[in-house]
Amino acid sequence: MKERELQEVTQHLDKLFEDLISEDITEEEFNYLSEELYKIQTRLRYEIEIENGIYYRNYFRF
């Protein structure tokens, strides 16, 4: 579930970056629109890594 949400956020960021490159949006607009998405992306990556670490720690413990 979190992986899917991370994928959607990443796709949205990619689209914004493409818009910036093609000059459909300005750098200020990109920064404004992407700031919260980067925070969400970082949080999701962190949570996924924590969950994977806990899973493997428990897996190898037994």
**Has residue 41 been placed in a domain?**
yes
**Has residue 19 been placed in a domain?**
yes
The Cβ of residue 50 has, within 10 Å, a number of other Cβ atoms equal to: 10
**Has residue 40 been placed in a domain?**
yes
The Cβ of residue 36 has, within 10 Å, a number of other Cβ atoms equal to: 10
Average pLDDT of every residue of the chain: 93
Predicted pLDDT at 54: 86
- Write out the residue range of the structural domain in which residue 43 sits: 2-56
**Has residue 25 been placed in a domain?**
yes
**Has residue 24 been placed in a domain?**
yes
**Has residue 29 been placed in a domain?**
yes
End-to-end Cα spacing for the chain = 26
**Has residue 45 been placed in a domain?**
yes
DSSP-based helix, strand, coil % in the chain, nearest 5: 90, 0, 10
The model's pTM: 0.78
The number of domains in the chain is 1
Task: Show the tokens assigned to 54.
Answer: 């806990």
**Has residue 62 been placed in a domain?**
no
Closest-CA residue to 41 (of 2, 33, 1): 2
Predicted pLDDT at 62: 64
